[in-house]
Amino acid sequence: MVPEREFPGSILVETTLRCPADCVFCPNKKISTRPRDMSWDLFKKIVDECRGKGVEEFYPFINGEPLACPFLEDALEYVSGNLPDASIGIYTNGYLLDRQKSAMLLKHNVHEVHFSIDGVSKQVYEEHRRGLVYEQVMANVMSFLSQCRQQDSKITTRVVLTLTPGNKREVSAFRRLWKGLVDIVDVIPCDGRGGEGRLSAYEDFKMWGCFHVPYRTYILTDGSVVACCKDWAGYTVLGNVAEESLASIWNSGEYHKLREDVSRGVFSNFEVCRRCIEDRL
């Protein structure tokens, strides 16, 4: 068994819920009970509490588009200045990635940029990423990759297709298109986190397991701490960093029990886990 960590090694912070897309598998547009943006003071508090704790990864996003965050550049500067050993990662749909934002990511030493692109053809892509324009996304991503090459950037680039019944036929073409253009090409089955009216979990997703729970934590815009990226609705809130420290929440009896349950394959004691295995997220 992996030894218990005294502090999470990977932190995901939901800086914003803003997003120009309405993707078929995403719950973003269903979230209405918490702030659209995290407050700057709360964000700084989280980063301050991570100093000297061995944090290895920091991602300023969960259920929104990070490039839409009003304070993203300040956030990147604050994280890189206070957590110099942490790898900063961005997941983006690419729609807002103009040259100015590309330069910002390069300037602040973002270590990883992951692009979510769920099709090769315009029709399939726009059926999945509703509200976005395929040609603009492709132009933005290609421009960013060109800037990376021109500056000999060390950023790791990754393109991800979320696999659904609607885009399965484009997987081979997707891999051919992006091979050699980015460092990593991934196809990941839809995890079904969208709830009613969205896509259910697809194919072998449940075989992946809960590999992130012992190592990673998630903080929503209102400060709520949840154990999993799939807990978009806050089904199992383990504490709130606006009211107590992240360290105390991580080391609480409830959080410890959840991690222990997951390590033993027990999914009956917490609502988010029950919903996950029943595909009711």
pLDDT (0 to 100) of residue 147:
96
Q: For residue range 241-260, what is the model confidence (pLDDT) as tens digits?
A: 999 999 999 999 999 999 99
Backbone angles phi, psi at 87, to 5 degrees: -80, 125
Rounded CA separation 96/63 (Å): 16
Q: What percent of the chain is predicted at pLDDT more than 70?
A: 94
Per-residue pLDDT band for 276 (boundaries 50, 70, 90) equals: confident
Q: For residue range 17-67, what is the model confidence (pLDDT) as tens digits?
A: 999 999 998 999 999 999 999 999 999 999 999 999 999 999 999 999 999
Measured CA distances, 84 to 48, 88, 277 (Å): 12, 10, 38
pLDDT at 205 over 80: no
pLDDT (0 to 100) of residue 128:
95
pLDDT (0 to 100) of residue 2:
56
Of 7-16, 125-134, 159-168, 203-212, minimum mean pLDDT range: 203-212
Higher pLDDT, 207 or 266: 266
Measured CA distances, 223 to 209, 220, 247, 279 (Å): 26, 5, 14, 26
pLDDT (0 to 100) of residue 245:
98
Contact criterion met (CB below 8 Å) for 37 and 16: yes
Per-residue pLDDT band for 202 (boundaries 50, 70, 90) equals: low
Contact criterion met (CB below 8 Å) for 35 and 82: no
Instruction: Name the pTM for this structure.
Output: 0.95
Rounded CA separation 131/109 (Å): 30
